[in-house]
Amino acid sequence: MDNIEGKEKKTILIVDDEQSIVDLLVYNLKKEGYNTLEANDGVTGVELALSKKPDLVLLDIMLPKMDGLTVCKKIRHALNTPILMLTAKSEEIDKILGLELGADDYITKPFSVRELMARIKANLRKADTANTGNEEKNISEGNKIVVGDLSLDLDKFEVRVKGELIDLTLREFEVLRYLATQPGQVVTRELLLEKVWGYEYYGDIRTVDVTVRRIREKIEKDTSVPKILITKRGVGYYIAG
């Protein structure tokens, strides 16, 4: 069990209609020192998220009254809370990390409780560092990074391309920020998983690929011939210097 005494307890909202899974999650989360909130349908999930403002949301895709993807969109529209989607289908990743949704992560059922707890801790840690601005970064130009047409304002979490403001999710911003601190240097997908998602193991590489593709859809004129965010085939990604 993590010793989180002396720190304010984090609250996790679980939105799942399978009571056996909810019970399992509540038991393990409380054992780790978290507070929990529970909702068994999408409508209640949205209401609890907006009224209680939890530190993280565990959200199932298949829900009564309102599906998880719609719930995700409604929560993300109002809050920047990390959202970790639970899904029975790994091929749903494209929807989950979709352009319009802004989920931070996903895990497929059946899942390992140990892996899920590791992902929850990683997402909470990333949210904390984003909020405090204390994350160590190799940045020498104050609170802005400018690489070619790409400009990142680290205080406002804003990205501009040729002066035009681009609407990115927090995770997409973090990927660009990490790459932009070292323009021209190829970063492997495994390293991006570790540095941006906070995973100290090899998670699902597709998470990185889908996120990069979503970023390209927003910042590139022609995604088939990217000029800013470049793929080094078989290795990883880099920002053109």
In this prediction, residue 201 carries a pLDDT of: 56
Asked if 17 contacts 60 with a C-beta cutoff of 8 angstroms, the reply is yes
Counting beta carbons within 10 angstroms of the beta carbon of residue 7, is it exposed (0 to 12), middle (13 to 18) or buried (19 or more)?
A: exposed
pLDDT at 29 over 70: yes
Instruction: Give the span between the Cα atoms of 198 and 192, in whole angstroms.
Output: 9
Instruction: Give the span between the Cα atoms of 42 and 61, in whole angstroms.
Output: 9
Architecture, CATH, for domain 144-239? Orthogonal Bundle (1.10)
> pTM for this structure?
0.66
Q: What is the mean pLDDT of residues 159-188?
A: 89
In this prediction, residue 140 carries a pLDDT of: 40
Handedness of CA 51, 121, 102, 143 (dihedral sign): positive
Q: Which CATH class is domain 11-132?
A: alpha beta
pLDDT at 98 over 70: no
Delimit the domains of the chain by residue range.
11-132, 144-239
Q: What is the mean pLDDT of residues 172-192?
A: 91
Over residues 204-223, the pLDDT tens digits come to 777 888 889 889 999 998 88
pLDDT at 150 over 80: yes
